[in-house]
Structure 1
Amino acid sequence: MSSRSRLGALALMCSLAAAHSLPGYAQGGASQCVAAGGWARLDGASPQAVDSTGLIAAMAQRAVVLLGEQHDDMDHHRWQLQTLAALHAQRPDMVIGFEMFPRRAQAVLDRWVAGELTEAEFLAQSEWGKVWSMPAELYLPLFHFARLNRIPMLALNIDASLTRSIAEKGWAGVPESQREGVGQAAAALPDYEDFLFEIHRQHAAARGHGGTRAGKAARDDPGFRNFVDSQLAWDRAMAEALVTGRQRHAAAGGALPLAVGIVGSGHVRFGHGIAHQLRDLGESSIGQLLPVGVDTPCRELTAGLADAVFGVPVARMPPPPPPRLGVALEEHERGVRIGEVTPGSLAERSGLKQADIITEVAGVAARRPSHLISAVRRQPAGTWLPLRLERGGETLELVLRFPPER
């Protein structure tokens, strides 16, 4: 399996971990188990409605509380903000950790909370467009809440280059000096490895090649073992940052603040990700909360998925428009790689070719496939979208010409 393939599997895991097809996010087909705007605890045979006041008071007494999300769902971020405010009212001594930022951005987060940066300066200096693929508008209310209340923000993540290295070489293949101080992760729990293997298997089946056996994934494939290493290092880094962040911001008398983690739901579900690594670090006082659609089948809300879930109304949105470009996209260390071009598509008519690496879209760096996808979807009919790309060692300029509406 190539480095790009492993990165694609990792990206697929991240998206699927927050998607509606996983436990806690499945769609349709069952009686309503969680009311819109209501909480249900998941410590029994079936979800049980619970009063928010008691739940939040109990969570505020934990050392760490993880708030999951589907990254592109604005209602999930609104719920996170509401829950943060409720926890802060109970326990003002708080720090907030964000998966969105790598550790190298910590000084910028400190300056933002201190009021030394404008919003534009904060996003530019933290390299938001490079480190996270989602629109900043989804997260800005959370950032402003921290700044308004002078709550320290923690950069939880590791740099994408380290994730790539581990995905390519495995944990043991990356020199200690390049691990950003991240320690050896606790081994994956069996159920977590099963979950990761299913993601890996789906990716291998979709590609039909890449070092797996006749397109079929195997648990002893080096690609899968490296994929697991990448995920564990990711979870471990965030767990360590939450622990050290609490220690760094301890009160004068030594009391440790509540640490709240804003992270993807895949790192929260069933306590297999960050919580497992926190326990290995000696921290067992952990709360885990997730937002779920109110149409989630009861059978999906199984004991242990989280301590409690919050019912989010299902947005009745029209289906997304069909793909406009006609390409298969892959992550690449220098941009977005074209894995396949559909015959007769806009991409083919515009001159895009397989293996092209798109580095800029309308003058903005293309770091992830979602950058290009978002730009294409936003582009009005009848307009042009300039691209910069690499092909065979050359840098080329190319323009996508979107046809007018009929």
Structure 2
Amino acid sequence: MSVFHRQRPHGLSPRSPLAAALLLAVCALAALPGCARPAPTDTPMGVSFLPEPGELMTAAGDRLSPETFMERSRTAAYVLVGESHGEMCDHQAERRILSLLAHLGQGPAVGFEMVPAKNSAVLRDFAAGAFPSSELERRLDWGKTWGHPFPGYLPVFEEARRWKLPMAGLNVPPEVIRRLSAAAMDNATASDTFDGPVAALAPEDRAQLPKRIIEPAPEQLAFLKEVMAGHPKGRDPADGRQLARFLLIQSVWDSAMAETAVALRRESGRQVLAFAGAAHVEGGLGIARRIRVLDPGAEILLVSPWRGDELDPEDAAVRVYCPLRFESRMGMVLEHRIFGESSQVLVREVRRGSRAEAAGLRPGDVVTRAGGYRMNALNALHLAGSDAYRHKSNLVLEVRRGRSCLTVDLGPLGQTGQTGQAAAAAPAGTVGAEAAPTRETP
């Protein structure tokens, strides 16, 4: 049922005097002049339809059928698919894209940013059926080499094995990256090339770096500086040595993925399907730019997730609609839906027997506030949870359910305290200061 389905206020008969008065009031309001105005005709239209999660779209925002996507992919030497590493919708889309491309001829060879190239033998053995799926995480040493939740990735690996597709890791081992990063701070200056830090590594580490480290494009530098400035460890792009180190690591990362993808294409004789973080894919300035240097003239198709914000046709030729989701330990799954200027956080799932169910939260509720924060992004829940934990107070949500505005008291965090019940919402408070999220979150 739609969250906007009209519901009768509880205990109110349609024949009661109060109901009649309310109906007259609504009719009177509807008759007032100025309640509606003509829609502007010059507003640019982004998407031409409201996509479902996982649905394919063109760069312009039009529906893209699986069959049309397959035809567009047929001539591509490389299909680069971006992701956000913790988003289940992205992983489900990856599995679907892999399956679609597997129907084309012999199917692609599949490369993974998440796996170091040195572990490609593990993927080859897995593809050959040498060991069961239950052993793959351990054999890849996933917790040390990647760390993002493995269950989201396992179906993608299994789908590649089901189609008997060759698989390979694309990247440099993280321990080599850490040693290179340390060498960069010891050996780099603002004007230094990449040669000094690389030369400072042991020979066995240098052997795992790409043969050619291709520097970022000038037009990408501003973006990389923004990424660096937003790093959780507070890196400073104005510091020449820090910037040189950051650009070196980014260049090694993208150059390694491109070099390994090109080698995978030549060795397998197949199209290469590569999965990597969206920042390495979108705009074609990361992996794609390096591939064009190493494999000139090769056709590259870019695919990236779209969260519902403003569409940029330069990001990728194909978009997959995957709104951001958050799964709470309290037993609820929230989804942030954005379409143009419209934005809402929707309750997608509530686990039976969970704290969220006991508090009165239900699928289809639209969360409008969390604590003192307007719920215009999922991070507001993180901030509200941090405040509730710090002040030893209950985490309270305000939700819209049909025409009703309700509060849902989820109780204290970090304790097994009783939850409240859904009730009529109190007047909305003001947006609090954004404290840094700490300790337990919802």
TM-score normalised by length of structure 2: 0.59
Q: Does 1:229 align with 2:257?
A: no
Secondary structure in 2 matching 1:68: strand
Larger radius of gyration: 2
Show the 5 A alignment for 1:68-147: 68-147=82-161
Distance 2:112 2:57 in 1: 25
Q: Which residue of 2 aligns with 1:36?
A: 51
Q: Which residue of 2 aligns with 1:198?
A: 226
Show the 5 A alignment for 1:148-187: 148-170=162-184, 171-172=194-195, 173-175=197-199, 177=203, 178-179=205-206, 180-187=208-215
Q: Using the TM superposition, name which of 120-129 and 67-76 deviates more.
A: 120-129
Secondary structure in 2 matching 1:90: coil
Show the 5 A alignment for 1:273-292: 273-283=286-296, 284-292=298-306
Partners of 1:91 and 1:258 within 8 A in 2: no
Show the 5 A alignment for 1:181-330: 181-203=209-231, 207=234, 212=236, 217-218=237-238, 221-249=240-268, 256-283=269-296, 284-293=298-307, 295-297=308-310, 301-312=311-322, 315=335, 316-317=346-347, 319=378, 322=382
How far off is 1:344 after superposition? 7.6
Distance 2:246 2:49 in 1: 34
The Cα offsets for residues 111-169 of structure 1, whole Å up to 9 and x where unpaired, read as 11111112232211110111112111101110111111211111111111222233333
Distance 1:248 1:324 in 2: 52
How far off is 1:199 after superposition? 1.7
Partners of 1:40 and 1:47 within 8 A in 2: yes
How far off is 1:84 after superposition? 1.1
Partners of 1:325 and 1:345 within 8 A in 2: no
How far off is 1:325 after superposition? 11
Distance 2:173 2:125 in 1: 20
The Cα offsets for residues 366-385 of structure 1, whole Å up to 9 and x where unpaired, read as xxxxxxxxxxxxx9746xxx
Distance 2:65 2:161 in 1: 29
Secondary structure in 2 matching 1:263: strand
Change (3 A) 1:31 1:309: closer
Distance 1:222 1:83 in 2: 41
Q: Which residue of 2 aligns with 1:367?
A: none
Identity level (%): 25
Change (3 A) 1:136 1:202: closer
Distance 1:304 1:152 in 2: 30
How far off is 1:200 after superposition? 1.9
Change (3 A) 1:57 1:324: same
Counterpart AA for 2:279: G
Partners of 2:101 and 2:107 within 8 A in 1: no
Alignment gaps of 5+ in structure 1 = 1-29, 250-255, 327-342, 347-378, 383-400
Distance 2:294 2:86 in 1: 31
Give RMSD over aligned pairs. 3.3
How far off is 1:51 after superposition? 4.0
How far off is 1:313 after superposition? 5.1
How far off is 1:52 after superposition? 3.6
The Cα offsets for residues 224-245 of structure 1, whole Å up to 9 and x where unpaired, read as 1110110010001111111111
Partners of 2:214 and 2:252 within 8 A in 1: no
Partners of 2:278 and 2:304 within 8 A in 1: yes
Alignment gaps of 5+ in structure 2 = 1-44, 185-193, 325-334, 336-345, 348-366, 368-377, 393-412, 417-438
State the aligned residue count.
289
How far off is 1:280 after superposition? 0.9
Distance 2:166 2:107 in 1: 10
Distance 1:141 1:32 in 2: 30
Distance 2:390 2:313 in 1: 49
Counterpart AA for 2:224: L
Partners of 2:102 and 2:163 within 8 A in 1: no
Partners of 1:291 and 1:311 within 8 A in 2: yes
Distance 1:31 1:303 in 2: 10
The Cα offsets for residues 157-206 of structure 1, whole Å up to 9 and x where unpaired, read as 111122223333334212372231412222211222111111223349x7
Counterpart AA for 1:124: R
Following TM superposition, where does structure 1 have runs of at least 4 consecutive aligned residues deviating by more than 6 angstroms?
323-326, 343-346
Distance 1:203 1:380 in 2: 28
